[in-house]
Amino acid sequence: MREYRKIVQFSYNNQKYNMYLDKNNRRFFMKVNSDGSLSYLTGDELIEISKLFIKNSDILMIGKDFEKINIVPKILTISGAVLLTSSLLFNFLSKESKISSSDNNHISLSEEDLKKYISTYDEEEKSQDYYYDEENNKLYIYNLEYIDNVIKEDNISLDDIKETIQNNKKIPGEYKDLLSEYSERVVSNYPDADLRVFYNNLQTMEIVECSKQAMFDETLNVNCSGYYDRKHNRIYVLEDNTYEKGSWNYQVIYHELSHTLTGSSFKLDNLNVQIQMENDSFNNEMTQEALNSLFAVSLFDYDEDHIAYQLQSNYYSVMTECMDYDFTDYVNKPLSDFPKQLDEYNNDDNAKEILELIQFQREDYIHDKIETEETEFYPIIDYLCDMYFRKYITEYTSYEDAIVIANNLENRILKNVPDDYKINTSRIYENLDNYYNSYDNTVGKTL
């Protein structure tokens, strides 16, 4: 059972719902029956309601003093109520403030009217680089350029890092060489990466080997192989693992270590400090996980095709290649810098919407037996096609060569992706024909 804050009651398609947030700002919804009692949603209903807030992803402003309620998060299926784990809940973007409405307890909304009833966040109100929460005496830092006042170390050398690893008794002996190797590769591959957060974490980091049951208890995810607990600066891995190059376990430890480059939580005298790359402007879990996965495997001295968050990592691999993304920025800059760079590259403002749709596609996939029409995800394919074709197709590209380019994109997207995703690759070739035929100059065409 979890504690939730009741945020708002709203109506959608003549049905009342309550929306709640847990302590991690994850949303949960319950139906309000005609007699005022509450009931669980079906999986389809949860998807439908959650899509409203994903498609209209302006930050919902929420207050501090709301009724609290304890709920066992479940969805209804044919076989009964099924526990809804945290990996199935949708991330919520905001931390505090208010709902804009004449009635703070009831908002009527339709999908078209949602933005009218929910106030949007004034981006100038808070810095997207840092924020001080006076009530909790907590400083949030979202940009490593602003950590000088909380982490004093500078000009950190590889020798400093290795010495810290060796002196940390919470890191088991068999992991010390692995962490030193990881550090060497980060320094070698990304010499301009800011390593102050990593160095600070290494001083108190703990690596915990645990059973599958203990991992589930910690993450509520039966498929979890590793987990970085930023609050306690603790990496959880499964017990009895070995870490040979090319193995999944090897990637897992690199993935979790990469999280320690960009996040930290500690006390500085009486001040609570939290360093994180996600901020109120952009807090997309899939962006963070996919970029982190790509960063981790970029450190390997061999090619790795099987990557954590495979489909999403494939998408992001295409995007980062097209815009020549420097993964040093993943370490040094706020997460919101990534959609900003995408918009600048594409000369539009569609990045956040596409990245939210990518996140929703994964959420839809991991809901067992719950599906959304594949056409809902066509904008992702369209977006990738536009980027990829603009990079590799010119007015001088023959149609045969353009087909090869489209084949390459299809292979990039589908590489090691489960068939259950049911991606319609014919959409790639529809985009190709539209793009190829858009050229006025017919030089090179062999249609």
Given a cut of 80, whether residue 57 has pLDDT beyond it is no
Q: What is the DSSP string of 289-301?
A: HHHHHHHHHHTSS
What span, in angstroms and rounded, lies between the C-alpha atoms of 367 and 99? Answer: 30
**Domain boundaries of the chain, sorted by first residue:** 2-117, 158-275, 310-436
Over residues 297-309, mean pLDDT:
94
* Residue that wins the pLDDT comparison between 357 and 144: 357
Task: Read off the pTM.
Answer: 0.72
Over residues 325-340, mean pLDDT:
95
Given a cut of 70, whether residue 444 has pLDDT beyond it is no
What span, in angstroms and rounded, lies between the C-alpha atoms of 329 and 255? Answer: 17
Q: What percent of the chain stands above pLDDT 70? A: 77
> Residue 3: pLDDT band by 50, 70, 90 thresholds?
low
> Residue 25: pLDDT band by 50, 70, 90 thresholds?
low
The distance in angstroms from the start CA to the end CA of the chain is: 62
Distances (CA, A) of 1 to 7, 22, 69, 83, 118: 18, 11, 10, 10, 29
pLDDT of amino acid 439:
67
pLDDT of amino acid 121:
34
Helix then strand count (H, E) for the chain reads: 15, 15
Vertex 277 angle, CA 367 and 172, to 5°: 85
Phi, psi of 319 (to 5 degrees): -65, -45
**3 state DSSP class of 266:** strand
CA 105 from centre of chain:
30
- Lowest-pLDDT range, 12-16, 225-229, 297-301, 326-330? 12-16
pLDDT of amino acid 35:
80
The string of pLDDT tens digits covering residues 251-298 is 999 999 999 999 999 998 888 999 998 887 788 889 999 999 999 999
What span, in angstroms and rounded, lies between the C-alpha atoms of 213 and 217? Answer: 6
What span, in angstroms and rounded, lies between the C-alpha atoms of 81 and 41? Answer: 9
Architecture (CATH level 2) of domain 158-275: 3-Layer(aba) Sandwich (3.40)
pLDDT of amino acid 87:
33
pLDDT of amino acid 125:
44
What span, in angstroms and rounded, lies between the C-alpha atoms of 429 and 447? Answer: 14
